[in-house]
Amino acid sequence: MLSRNYFGMCLALLSFGCSSTNTSSTTPEAQTLIGVDPKDFMGTGVCGTKIQRYVATLTDVTGPDGSIASGTEGVAWRPFLVGSSPPTPCTAELAFGRAVAYHAYEATLDGYDQADIEPLASESSAMGVEGVYIPPLYTATCHGWTDSDGGLKPGISYPNATVMLRNCTKLGQ
């Protein structure tokens, strides 16, 4: 009787195994990303001279009702700090993988003349050397676009796409 139950259980497990699907793939999955590129925010001739590393901090400026914060004055909610990048070489672009599709984003950039800086806390924009805070020498911001009145507008993320925030002020100028 034991062999009959054992056979039935094995048959049930095999049929269950056959109905499952293999979800592993060698094709990379598309992600919703927001990125910045030094070509858009690095001042002329400053990379490698005035600036060695930069830190990007991404902010989600989408409100709970889907509206976009154009500032915090008179707004009942505050923009959401997504996180900060590690210190990045001044020639390298980067992208944040925690973007939510159809949300609005802006980035703040901090420029440093030292290559040995490190975050003072996980995902913090505060940098230091051997635990001592080092303020950024330069700051800049990146947005998605500028309206016809010259107003800076955030970049909108889209599913399975990388959106670069290209409308930037310049670091080092």
Q: Which pLDDT belongs to residue 103? A: 94
Q: Which pLDDT belongs to residue 66? A: 77
Q: Which pLDDT belongs to residue 93? A: 96
Positions of the chain with pLDDT under 70:
1-30, 69-77
Q: Which amino acid is at 48?
A: G
As a residue count, the chain comes to 173
Q: Which pLDDT belongs to residue 122? A: 87
DSSP 98-143: ---TT-EEEEEEEEES-SS-EESSTT-S-EEETTEEE--SEEEEEE
| pTM (two decimals) | 0.78
Q: Which pLDDT belongs to residue 29? A: 63
Q: Which pLDDT belongs to residue 151? A: 87
Q: Which pLDDT belongs to residue 6? A: 46
Q: Which pLDDT belongs to residue 26? A: 55
Can you tell me the distance from the alpha carbon of 50 to that of 68, in angstroms, rounded to the nearest whole number? 34
Given a contact cutoff of 8 angstroms between Cβ atoms, the answer to whether 107 and 56 are in contact is yes
